[in-house]
Amino acid sequence: MDSSQRRKSGINLPSGMSETSLRLDGFPGSSFRAISNLTSPSKSSSISDRFIPCRSSSRLHTFGLVEKGSPVKEGGNEAYSRLLKAELFGSDFGSLSPAGQGSPMSPSKNMLRFKTESSGPNSPYSPSILRQDSGFSSEASTPPKPPRKVPKTPHKVLDAPSLQDDFYLNLVDWSSQNVLAVGLGTCVYLWSASNSKVTKLCDLGPNDGVCAVQWTREGSYISIGTSLGQVQIWDGTQCKRVRTMGGHQTRTGVLAWNSRILSSGSRDRVILQHDLRVQNDSIGKLVGHKSEVCGLKWSHDDRELASATGVESALSATGSEAY
């Protein structure tokens, strides 16, 4: 009988003990509710891993951020420390007393700024890392560079007798080998800047005169425009004439080289193209100016030629038109 009751209840009780002797006292209502409140918080509650205090109510001076009088070792850079603090905490940081009379920074300024301030004269991103109001700019700034001195006297003075006073002529040219060519009257002289040696290149005679000189880009040959409208090519190292080319009716006052073509402008308002590799004196002719041609210049890629006169604007011709 007892064994059948134990099976119905599902509890194995020792012999001699009944289910009535087992009793579980209930908890009071308030205690049970307190236990239920110990459960995990609901998912709707917001949990943050960051605590941002209100800086206006914080007292940062209590954390020892105020400058304290620490002993400085002999030879230490005290000016650098004061400058670094002024750049990090502002110019007002050094004016606070060690007793904590105020915060090392004003309440309106945050130590970590989440907005980029506009760069001004006091910005740390300005060209000068020192602030104007920090009081240390004059102490740690680099001295200004002295102004560049431009000499008021010439480096070298060369005698140039019989130099024609005519701005339509081009009587001076400097080569890539540091040799200066000057046309004086009927002669051309070469002056070497490396050793100050003067060499007489040629003399055109009493019936002719020098109107233009122009070195090649390599600096080994020089072209000379004459009053009779001729163009002469001379070897600058051996002082020997290589070739004479005609084509102009009057004086040749301007010359211009590209890599393989020599252009010449004259008072006859014509521009001629010369090629030393062919037998003919000229391979091309450009007509369009209404007065004497006094300026010629090739582009660096040798594709265009610019020309000008004293009363007209510059004209440009492509390489195909020039040839």
Task: Please say whether the beta carbons of 290 and 318 come within 8 A.
Answer: no
Identify the bridge partners of residue 271 per DSSP, sorted by sequence position: 265, 286
Q: Clarify whether residues 104 and 206 are in a common domain.
A: no
The answer to whether residue 51 is domain-embedded is no
pLDDT score recorded for residue 100: 43
Quote the CA–CA distance of 264 and 252 in Å, as a whole number. 7
Identify the bridge partners of residue 49 per DSSP, sorted by sequence position: none
Q: Clarify whether residues 176 and 266 are in a common domain.
A: yes
How far is the CA of 20 from the CAs of 3, 16, 73, in angstroms? 16, 12, 87
pLDDT score recorded for residue 89: 76
Q: Clarify whether residues 311 and 192 are in a common domain.
A: yes
Task: Identify the residue whose tokens are 């140039």.
Answer: 160
**What average pLDDT score do residues 132-149 get?**
64
What is the per-residue DSSP string for 112-166?
S-SSPPPP-TT-TTSSSSS-TTSS-HHHHSPPPPPPPPPPSS-S-----TT----
The answer to whether residue 145 is domain-embedded is no
**What average pLDDT score do residues 62-70 get?**
53
**What average pLDDT score do residues 277-305 get?**
91
Mean per-residue pLDDT over the chain, rounded: 75
Q: Clarify whether residues 107 and 180 are in a common domain.
A: no
Q: Clarify whether residues 209 and 287 are in a common domain.
A: yes
Structure tokens at 89: 């905490």
Identify the bridge partners of residue 273 per DSSP, sorted by sequence position: 263, 284
Q: Clarify whether residues 190 and 131 are in a common domain.
A: no
Residue 31's pLDDT band (boundaries 50, 70, 90)?
A: very low
CA atoms within 13 A on the CB side of 237: 6
The answer to whether residue 75 is domain-embedded is no
The phi and psi torsions of 199 (rounded to 5 degrees) equal -130, 135
Query: What is the number of domains present in the chain?
Result: 2
Q: Clarify whether residues 126 and 236 are in a common domain.
A: no
Among residues 154, 87, 98, 89, which one has the least CA distance to residue 123? 87
* Cβ neighbour number for residue 211 with a 10 Å cutoff: 27
Structure tokens at 310: 């004293």
- What domain range includes position 246? 172-322
pLDDT score recorded for residue 99: 44
The answer to whether residue 47 is domain-embedded is no
Q: Clarify whether residues 279 and 177 are in a common domain.
A: yes
Least confident of 31-40, 47-56, 291-300, 303-312: 31-40
Quote the CA–CA distance of 185 and 201 in Å, as a whole number. 13
Residue 86's pLDDT band (boundaries 50, 70, 90)?
A: confident
The answer to whether residue 273 is domain-embedded is yes
pLDDT score recorded for residue 128: 47
Looking at the chain, the whole-number percentage of residues with pLDDT higher than 70 is 57
pLDDT score recorded for residue 319: 54
Q: Clarify whether residues 197 and 244 are in a common domain.
A: yes
Looking at the chain, the whole-number percentage of residues with pLDDT higher than 90 is 39
pLDDT score recorded for residue 146: 85
Q: Clarify whether residues 132 and 265 are in a common domain.
A: no
Q: Clarify whether residues 267 and 134 are in a common domain.
A: no
Between residues 252 and 95, the one the model is more confident about: 252
What HEC string does 33-99 produce? HHHHCCCCCCCCCCCCCCCCCCHHHCCHHHHCCCCCCCCCCCCCCHHHHHHHHHHHHCCCCCCCCCC
pLDDT digits (tens, 9 = 90+) for 217-234: 999 999 999 999 999 999
CATH number at residue 258: 2.130.10.10
Quote the CA–CA distance of 214 and 235 in Å, as a whole number. 12
The answer to whether residue 38 is domain-embedded is no
Between residues 113 and 183, the one the model is more confident about: 183
Between residues 15 and 246, the one the model is more confident about: 246
The answer to whether residue 17 is domain-embedded is no
pLDDT score recorded for residue 305: 92
Q: Clarify whether residues 263 and 192 are in a common domain.
A: yes
Residue 200's pLDDT band (boundaries 50, 70, 90)?
A: very high
Quote the CA–CA distance of 128 and 145 in Å, as a whole number. 15
Looking at residue 39, its amino acid is T
pLDDT digits (tens, 9 = 90+) for 143-194: 788 888 888 888 888 888 989 999 899 999 999 999 999 999 999 999 999 9
Q: What's this model's pTM, rounded to 2 decimal places? A: 0.53
**What average pLDDT score do residues 248-261 get?**
93
The answer to whether residue 96 is domain-embedded is yes
Structure tokens at 281: 């004196």
Indicate whether 54 pLDDT > 70: no
